[in-house]
Amino acid sequence: MTTPLLVFDLDGTLVDSAPDLVSALNFVLDREGLPPVPVASARKLIGAGARALIERGLEQEGRSKTPDEVSAMTDDFIAYYAEHIADETRPFDGVLAALDELSGQGFNFAVCTNKLEWLSKRLLDRLGMSERFAAICGADTFGVQKPDPVILRETIRSAGGVLSSAIMIGDSGPDIGVARRAGVPVIGVDFGYTPISIEELKPDCLISHMEKLPNAVAEINARRGGG
């Protein structure tokens, strides 16, 4: 029998990484002579990968760069961020307890993120969380990003799971979209990073704290006859 699998987004779902991501963004903006973006407003820019974060940061400042210039900024961003990846990033409150409880119930876990795979693994290593996940897959793992369903389907396969017993957990449009396109139910969290209210995206369940995750998982499995 296949072990049921919970697939998590990373930034804004498992970990509050905004301070370190915004610090890296402001590092590259400063080198361009641009003012820093406040963490509070930049939280909504996170979620589609490093390049998109920089493009959104430039747009917020009313500036534009050529594709080659953005590529160079992205390289500088990644180099800086890799060295400061866990300066302030921490798991959201309740995450570790929820993982412990769900692991005890027989669930396996995976990460499906638009962050680069090696950065995702480095971050989870630094936080002492990597061993909890059967697979950690990023934007470069399969050559596609969320919401392309390939990344979720292949993450589930890599973790030894199957679509029929998997659930996605995320905080933004790409997470809801990838789950819908892959035919997997999705739990939304309302404490993450999204320019559009997670309620408007209509996940199958919505939680405001990770302590509620085990109950949400049980609710979804009950709906589909899995428990």
Active site residues: 9
Look up tokens 């769900």; give the residue. Answer: 102
Angle between helices 149-158 and 173-182 (to 10 degrees): 70
Q: How far is CA 216 from the centre of its chain?
A: 19
Structure tokens at 195: 């320019």
Q: How far is CA 46 from the centre of its chain?
A: 9
Q: Is 30 exposed, middle or buried (0-12, 13-18, 19+ CB in 10 A)?
A: exposed
* Cβ-Cβ contacts under 8 Å for 36 (sequence gap 6 or more): 26, 29, 30
* 15-16 vs 90-91, strand pairing mode: antiparallel
